[in-house]
């Protein structure tokens, strides 16, 4: 692989137009309340930085399989980090339900187990 190969991060677009949509939840408060180890608030930004350097989109090991043909990813951004945890949960739930109703696959980074039920609540 040479340095100018297209990386996974190069095919990510802003917004929610793709099949897979990244959603960041930069909160430690739920983890703290559950007596967990904090650090989840750094997850979304750290993950996006990692994606910028992650593997080539064209994989020579699989007969030059080009992920761009099968995988579209957009980044919807982070839930507002200035909200209270309860307000953030509400914004998160609304965003996830909108994505699901538009037949998108949300890929959530950050937070703790506290927001998982919000994403999975069918009553939304």
Average pLDDT, the chain: 85
DSSP string for 62-87:
GTTEEGGGT--EEEEEEPPTTS-HHH
Q: Which CATH superfamily is 8-120 part of?
A: Ureohydrolase domain (3.40.800.10)
Q: What are phi and psi of 2, to 5 degrees?
A: -100, 165
Average pLDDT over every residue of 11-36: 91
E strands, the chain, are 12-14, 20-25, 58-59, 65-66, 73-78, 105-110
Using the predicted structure, report yes or no on whether residue 120 has a pLDDT greater than 70: no
Q: In the block, which residue shows the tokens 């990813």?
A: 73
Reported confidence tier of residue 1, pLDDT bands at 50, 70, 90: very low
pLDDT of residue 3: 59
Question: CA geometry: angle at 37 spanning 34 and 40, to 5°?
Answer: 95
Domain positions in the chain: 8-120
For 25-82, the pLDDT digits (tens) are 999 888 888 888 888 899 999 999 998 888 777 777 777 777 777 788 999 999 999 9
pLDDT of residue 121: 62
Q: Residue 118 CB: number of other CB atoms within 10 A?
A: 21
pLDDT of residue 11: 86
């Amino acid at each position: 692989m040479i340095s100018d190969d297209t990386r996974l991060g190069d095919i990510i677009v802003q917004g929610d137009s793709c099949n897979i949509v990244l959603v960041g939840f930069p909160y430690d408060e739920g983890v703290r309340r559950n007596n967990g180890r904090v650090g989840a608030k750094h997850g979304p930004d750290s993950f996006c930085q990692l994606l910028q350097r992650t593997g080539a989109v064209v994989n020579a090991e699989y007969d030059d399989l080009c992920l761009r043909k099968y995988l579209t990813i957009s980044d919807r951004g982070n839930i507002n980090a200035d909200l209270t945890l309860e307000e953030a949960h509400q914004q998160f739930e609304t965003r996830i339900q909108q994505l699901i109703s538009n037949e998108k696959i949300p890929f959530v980074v950050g937070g703790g187990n506290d927001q998982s039920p919000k994403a999975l609540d069918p009553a939304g």
